[in-house]
Amino acid sequence: MKKLFSILLMAAICLPAAAQEKQKGEIVKKGINFGPLPAVGYSSDLGWHYGALTDIYWYGDGTVYPDYVWKANVEASWYSKGNSVYHAFFDSKYIIPGIRVSADLTYLGNKTSNFYGFNGAAARYLKDMDKIVDGQGLYLMRRDNFRVELTAQGKIGESHWGWVGGIAYNMYKVGHAENRSLDPDRTLDRSLYDIYVENDVIPAQEAGGGSHLEFKAGVVFDTRDHENNPSKGSNLELFVYGSPDILNGNRNGYRNDYLKLAVHYKQFFTLVPDHLVFGGHVAYQGLIAGNSPFYTLQTIMPINRKNIITDGLGTTNTIRGTVINRFLGNGYVWGNFELRWSFARFKLFNQNFILATNPFFDLGMVVQPYRLEQLKKLAESNDVLASKMYTGQNEKLHMSAGAGLHIIMNQNFNINFEFGKCFDKNDGEGLGINIGLNYIF
């Protein structure tokens, strides 16, 4: 799905108004700041999009600025074809001395989630079939996700190293994409999800979803001068996460215990002070042990959530310009490289603003296949449609390039307009568009 919504209004409200001037003319923010955004737009996949979101920052007496004492993010939005987002997020390094705490409460109701199969190039992509008709389609399925997440971080001595630990509860409801409110009498069309279930690529035990208690633990190294809009420094996140299958009851010995490893490395160099920064991000996420259920494959696990939806491989969070969740597997590698040029700085409504553009290049691929042997059996099926769904091709590198425009307030609240184009039309045709919040890394 390509999401496009228009920004109709951006109001910046600061309470109280008290502020003082920094060197270079930047206002040191104090008190509370709001960044409200009405979201209005249209998507051919999901219909009209409407709702509201806001970032709320508490800067206290301004001592820690451009850092914040705490931040909260809230969104409630809906789509005319039945999908919804309810989200609340909180983050603070200072409420508990020496411990950073972040919490996330989110419900994503998606009756028409894109599902293109497993292992990238091995899954056939038929562009003419990539559409939604009355709430159904070949590449659609239902995937609702309710999550509650709590993460804590702390320093290791006086070094740049730190530790991280977290716990999360995720409940998934998955199935055939169907929106009966659009056409109650319509006969159900067959989807790729249905084909996978019929041929045991998706086992019956996980075909309807499940509940998972996840744990994560690892280390962090960080020398960036600012987390949300860095101009120099590096950041390494290395952690494991996984789930014991203890919430889904007895399923005749079938289990979805899994353990995964995630590594993210980000590097920033100042090329022209106050104007031009090079940023690079390389990452790996893969299965160490166990059997990950198919409906968790697209979750790109972060330490702290910069965005509500962190799906991949593909999407605006990993390879910009690709169709959403085009590449699914047990393990991924990917990279994002961009130049961030801040071409204007000004003050408006008692806020500091930066206008920036970021030409970028993204690439990635599946490096650990998922249920490849079951997929190969599809080619031998007497079912004509099912036999076409496995190409027999080896996975390859997927690439895209593009540029974006960012409106950054007080170095934290960042509205982005990004446009990406794939090198291979099988990864997504046309111009991929995303309007949202924050840099992707």
* 140 lies in some domain: yes
Write down the pLDDT at residue 324: 84
Look up the pTM and report it.
0.88
**Calpha distance 383→63 (Å, rounded):** 67
Q: Say what percent of the chain tops pLDDT 70.
A: 90
- Least confident range of 79-83, 163-167, 336-340, 361-365: 79-83
CA atoms within a 13 Å half-sphere pointing along the CA-CB vector of 257: 7
The predicted-structure confidence for 347-369, as pLDDT tens digits, reads as follows 998 899 999 999 999 999 999 99
Average pLDDT over residues 78-95: 89
* 3 lies in some domain: no
Average pLDDT, the chain: 88
**Calpha distance 252→6 (Å, rounded):** 50
Q: Are 264 and 281 in contact (CB under 8 A)?
A: yes
* 164 lies in some domain: yes
Write down the pLDDT at residue 10: 37
Q: β-strands 32-43, 27-28: how paired?
A: unpaired
Which DSSP letter does residue 82 get?
A: S
**Calpha distance 318→434 (Å, rounded):** 12
Per DSSP, which regions of 139-257 are E strands? 140-155, 161-176, 209-222, 233-243
Write down the pLDDT at residue 24: 62
Classified as helix, coil or strand, 72 is: strand
Q: Which residue has the higher pLDDT, 303 or 135?
A: 303
* 112 lies in some domain: yes
- Residues shown for the chain: 441
Say if residue 302 is preceded by a cis peptide, omega within 30 of 0.
no
Task: Determine the structural domain holding residue 221 and report its residue range.
Answer: 80-437
* 377 lies in some domain: yes
With a cut of 70, say whether residue 396 has pLDDT above it.
yes
* 68 lies in some domain: no
**In which band, very low, low, confident or very high, does the pLDDT at 43 lie, cut at 50, 70 and 90?**
low
* 126 lies in some domain: yes
Rg over alpha carbons for the chain, rounded to the nearest Å, is: 22
Question: Can you name the residues that pair with 346 across neighbouring β-strands?
Answer: 353
* 374 lies in some domain: yes
**In which band, very low, low, confident or very high, does the pLDDT at 383 lie, cut at 50, 70 and 90?**
confident
Name the domain count of the chain.
1
CATH code, domain carrying 277: 2.40.160
Of the candidates 430, 440, 427, the one whose C-alpha atom is nearest the C-alpha of residue 314 is: 427
Which DSSP letter does residue 322 get?
A: S
Q: Are 395 and 366 in contact (CB under 8 A)?
A: yes
Per-residue tokens: 120: 């990238």
Say if residue 313 is preceded by a cis peptide, omega within 30 of 0.
yes
Question: b/e per residue, 84-117, with b = 16+ CB within 10 A?
Answer: ebbbebbbbbbeeeeebbbbbebebbbbbbbbbb
With a cut of 70, say whether residue 106 has pLDDT above it.
yes
Q: Are 380 and 387 in contact (CB under 8 A)?
A: yes
Average pLDDT over residues 406-418: 91
What is the DSSP annotation of 257-307? -EEEEEEEEEEEEEEETTTEEEEEEEEEEEEEEE---GGGTTB---SS-SS
